[in-house]
Structure 1
Amino acid sequence: MVKPTQFRILVGSYEHNLLCVSLMLTETPVFQPVFHFEAHSLSIKSIDIAKRYLVTGSNDEHIRIYDLQKRKELGTLLSHQGTVTSLRFSDEAEEGEESTEKSGKWLLSGSEDGKIIIWRSKDWEVFGTLKGHQDRINDLDIHPTGRVAISVSKDQTIRLWNLMTAKKAAVLKIKGRDSLGQQPEFVRWSKTGDHFIVGFMNKLFIYETNNAKIYQKYNFKTTLMCMKVIVVKDKEYVVLGHSNGLIEMVEFEKLTKQGASDEPLVFKPDITLRGHANRIKDLTYYYNPKDSQVPYLISVSSDGKIVVWDLDQHDQVAVYDSGERLNCVAVCSETIEKADTMKRRSENEMPDIDSEYETDGEEMKKIMKKRKGKKSKVTITRE
């Protein structure tokens, strides 16, 4: 008998709510609500998970921290003056690591205030603040080495940052003739870090990292709403979610093998997935060889649905209707909780708001040895 795959899906909504459901994939998929509550006073715009920690960012300018192992809220980070548009844990892979779990040694948060803050997840202190953008941070990503970050902004620039020194590494200006007035909305590193991909409303630019120049351009007719880079069975894919509810996937190698070109090419997907009625707002990926040999893509939409896709079969295997306008999604293993560390709580209840700091014992010695200057202390606000 084949062991069923089980994992948890967490989503943030326009209705200010944080929802977690457990999915068991058998012949008939079973969704079990874990918790559902109002986590912010305004819409939840960003979310990420690393090991036991979940973070959410909102229009209310707050970043909430949760310990999923204990199902407990730890506190709130208050250092931005504007919507928290992007949250990204570091995900540098350990040697031999195969799962999609992130290391989470540090967290980067981007905001409408134009700042990017580097948080040290061991104690949630500020490692540094990256200043330079003159307008909203639209998106950011961390290089596979964990040493460099990249960000795109409404100010029409792409900036690279040295995370070891918390200083600017390079600035790239988007030329009008290239973007036709469109601002860069999304950015992702390739898995090797040799390229980075910038997404506009209906364009993709692929840059070479070593010279920071555009290598290839692609056009598409629909409006781009989200972008992800994943590895499925040793093949790297760029995954795009569009305003018409379609998901498109193409092998990254195909986007670069034609060589450098000044003229835009037409984006031709290898795989098209149809399962949503309207805008795809976010995508994530789950693969854990301890759990299952099947890779899954999870998409959420303004239509309120969570759709789980089997990427071996290129077909949906489970659908959950949340009844809310979903905005962001993250996944984690079903085994993240430890029953002996949790208080007794009624079903569908998220932890009491008795905030406390918990450390998972991760060390930052290698990073901190290279850090200069005095610590910048940040207090976790109890609410």
Structure 2
Amino acid sequence: MEEYMELVVGCYEQVLFGYRVHREGEQWLSSADFTHHAHTASLSVVAVNNRFVATGSKDETIQIYDMKKKVEHGALLHHNGTITCLQFYGNTHLLSGAEDGLICVWNTKKWECQQTFKAHKGQVLSLSIHPSGKLALSVGTDKTLRTWNLVEGRSAFIKNIKKNAHIVQWSPSGDKYVVVIHDKVDVYQLETAAVIGTINNPKRISSVQFITDALIAVAGDEEVIRLYDTASQKCVCEFKAHENRVKNLHVFELEETHIVVSSSSDGFVKMWGIDTEKVKTPPSLFCEVSTSARLTCLSVWLPSAVDHKEEANRDVTASTVKDCDRPKKKMTQSKTAENKEAGETQVIHKKRKLETKQKKKKPMK
């Protein structure tokens, strides 16, 4: 099967870019697949599952795109303020957070807002869903780290922290998580909810991504990406990735190869191959894309990816896909008891094709 993926990046210029990347032998080839004027303000966050891409913006909306049909699927209007974080859980749910302090749980079968949490007194800065889908973590401008019981739809635990954290992230196994405050990464053990170590980065951290439970990639306000051992909190490798500061990281595994994708203020998106058996060796640069834009957010869409949790629950997946294949209505509205106070939720369905660019595929430098 062809190794194929889509680099999806957003920018200050309100545009969503898609770059198709595939492998032929030992060479990675690319082509510009689409550009789309996604929002009326700069994009702030992008998330993917194996069918949809969701983008959040300073225009207070979440736009949903059907990547298999290359059409707009709809707009979610619920939040007030910039959308700050988005994360899919498999094919069933999407969580969103914003400057209004709310976290919304969206059912992706009918795109209804199932639950609204008044998560933080200030802004929600980051959220992360546990691999089991039962818990979520969030941090905000009220100097708290909050745990959410997604099964019962309630707050489970609140931890006061000394400063505002701007990133929270679960490990792949869910046994630990990290909380980022400026240039420090606190590593927590789930069982004890205690800090087991702290990673000190030279510059303010812009993005962190677990490669494995034992290895984490950290990018900050500099051209360097560092790989840290989560047990010893020591840097095991660092390499110059860009000509300007690194803004975003995204990590995924393809054919047993760990890949780190980075985007920078220099307008480039790069793919790096990580050999976890030789972590002290600088990674291989697989390919790079020049967007000539001021990039703000990054993700990777894998059309062949199937979430293992969804594979174990084929009935849920089948009903979700079936519903998405039905003809779209121009507009549907839904109200729930939880969102009456926050206002009416509108799910606006559109069917406008993304602008595609047909370019000759050529090797990337």
The normalised TM-score by structure 2 is 0.80
Q: How many Å separate the matches in 2 of 1:184 and 1:374? A: 31
Distance 1:284 1:132, change over 3 A: closer
Alignment of 1:1-383 (within 5 A): 5-26=3-24, 27-90=26-89, 103-175=90-162, 182-231=163-212, 236-255=214-233, 268-289=234-255, 293-312=256-275, 314-333=283-302, 359-361=320-322, 378-382=345-349
Residue 119 of structure 1, CA deviation: 0.5
Contact 2:50 2:304 in 1 (8 A): no
Q: Which residue type is aligned with residue 227 of structure 2?
A: M
Q: How many Å separate the matches in 1 of 2:287 and 2:49? A: 24
Q: Which residue type is aligned with residue 165 of structure 2?
A: P
Contact 1:273 1:315 in 2 (8 A): no
Residue 138 of structure 1, CA deviation: 0.9
Residue 128 of structure 1, CA deviation: 0.6
Q: Which residue type is aligned with residue 309 of structure 1?
A: W
Q: How many Å separate the matches in 2 of 1:283 and 1:47? A: 12
Identity of aligned residues (%): 30
Q: Which residue type is aligned with residue 246 of structure 1?
A: V
Q: How many Å separate the matches in 1 of 2:273 and 2:177? A: 26
Q: How many Å separate the matches in 2 of 1:10 and 1:56? A: 10
Residue 34 of structure 1, CA deviation: 0.9
Residue 170 of structure 1, CA deviation: 0.7
Q: Which has the higher strand share?
A: 2
Alignment RMSD: 2.3
Residue 288 of structure 1, CA deviation: 2.9
Residue 375 of structure 1, CA deviation: 8.1
Report SS of the residue matched to 2:218: strand
Q: Unaligned 5+ residue runs, structure 1?
A: 91-102, 176-181, 256-267, 337-357, 364-372
Distance 1:209 1:359, change over 3 A: closer
Distance 1:71 1:160, change over 3 A: same
Residue 269 of structure 1, CA deviation: 1.5
Q: How many Å separate the matches in 2 of 1:362 and 1:145? A: 24
Contact 1:239 1:248 in 2 (8 A): yes
Q: How many Å separate the matches in 2 of 1:4 and 1:278? A: 33
Q: Which residue type is aligned with residue 17 of structure 1?
A: V
Q: How many Å separate the matches in 1 of 2:158 and 2:88? A: 23
Q: How many Å separate the matches in 2 of 1:362 and 1:195? A: 35
Residue 241 of structure 1, CA deviation: 0.9
| 1:346 equivalent in structure 2 | none
Q: Deviations over 1:242-285 (max 9, x none)?
A: 11121111233334xxxxxxxxxxxx311213121222221112
Contact 2:60 2:80 in 1 (8 A): yes
User: How many residues are paired up?
Assistant: 315
Contact 2:44 2:296 in 1 (8 A): yes
Q: How many Å separate the matches in 1 of 2:27 and 2:254? A: 21
Residue 22 of structure 1, CA deviation: 0.7
Q: Unaligned 5+ residue runs, structure 2?
A: 276-281, 306-318, 325-335, 351-365
